[in-house]
């Protein structure tokens, strides 16, 4: 990768898997998602965030976490895809430093009492929730049903792929679905946003000007359909192809070569 930096006169790697905040394009979809998460927090309602793989869900959650007032909130993120049906409440308790009790009901009661006594409001983000067992989703309903007529002891954000919406629409989960007051779905980037997305990444990497010509960006959009992760992967591949050809800008030929290279992997 050092050769790529030297070739395009960059000071850090372009299109990293986890981009620094200055490389993130805060487009309309991201800003609206963050605003809705804050609205759910203020409204004291459950938020549902769904997105296909590679659409920027992790980016939204990261920016949301950074936007919180740390003196008033603590964020707890759990990815519970491998949990058995009766371990979700124990896992949440352990994440908060509590020792699970013998019976799930006792653990739940101790957990809720602990959350109510904290000086900061806890925001529980359950990622990959579309893979949770039905019993775990039911446990979340029971936790959020505690004292429904008063402020919830914690805020809940359910995150996952679109399959999560289908699961919550099933009759057995209707009570949990009814408690969801804010629903967010991330969409792919538009063609114009893809150009801005690439430019933002390159600017953060130290580019002094545009490295992708307009037609290359259009072809890149066609092949990625605006999915951010695919845009990053293909843009990096196109930059490598341009370097191999001895070009200091990325054109449609480089993008097409990157498509071939990625398809061969």
Per cent of the chain over pLDDT 90 is: 70
User: Whole-model pTM above 0.85?
Assistant: yes
The pLDDT of residue 192: 95
Q: What is the pLDDT of residues 66-104, one digit of tens each?
A: 999 999 999 999 886 556 655 788 888 988 888 888 888
Supply the CATH classification number for the domain 189-264.
1.10.8.60
* pLDDT tens track for 147-198: 555 678 899 999 999 999 999 999 999 999 999 999 999 999 999 999 999 9
Pick the CATH number of 28-185 from 3.30.420.40, 1.20.120.1200, 3.40.50.300, 3.40.50.261: 3.40.50.300
> Each residue of 220-239: pLDDT tens digit?
999 999 999 999 999 999 99
pLDDT of residue 164: 95
Question: What angle in degrees, to the nearest 10, is found between the helix axes of 228-244 and 191-205?
Answer: 60
Tell me the pLDDT of the chain averaged across its residues.
Answer: 90
Fold: same for 28-185 and 189-264: no
In the chain, where are the structural domains located? 28-185, 189-264
């Amino acid at each position: 990768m050092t050769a790529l930096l030297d070739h395009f006169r960059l000071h850090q790697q372009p299109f990293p898997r986890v981009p620094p905040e200055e490389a993130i394009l805060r487009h309309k979809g991201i800003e609206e998602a963050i605003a809705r998460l804050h609205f759910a927090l203020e409204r004291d309602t459950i938020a549902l965030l769904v997105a296909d793989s590679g659409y920027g869900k992790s980016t939204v959650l990261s920016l949301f976490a950074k936007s919180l007032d740390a003196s008033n909130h603590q964020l707890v993120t759990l990815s519970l895809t491998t949990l058995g049906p009766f371990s979700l409440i124990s896992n949440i308790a352990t994440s908060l430093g509590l020792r699970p009790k013998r019976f799930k009901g006792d653990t739940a009661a101790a957990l809720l009492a602990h959350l109510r006594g904290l000086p900061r409001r806890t925001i529980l983000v359950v990622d990959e929730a579309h893979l949770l067992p039905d019993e775990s989703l039911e446990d979340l309903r029971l936790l959020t049903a505690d004292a429904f007529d008063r402020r919830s002891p914690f805020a809940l954000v359910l995150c996952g792929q679109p399959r999560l919406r289908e699961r919550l629409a099933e009759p057995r989960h209707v009570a949990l679905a009814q408690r969801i007051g804010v629903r967010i779905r991330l969409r792919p980037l538009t063609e114009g946003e893809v150009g801005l997305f690439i430019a933002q990444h390159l600017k953060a990497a130290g580019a002094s000007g545009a490295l992708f010509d307009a037609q290359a960006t259009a072809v890149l959009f066609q092949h990625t359909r605006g999915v951010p992760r695919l845009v990053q992967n293909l843009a990096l591949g196109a930059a490598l192809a341009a370097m191999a050809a001895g070009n200091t800008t990325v054109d449609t030929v480089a993008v097409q070569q990157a498509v071939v290279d990625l398809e061969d992997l």
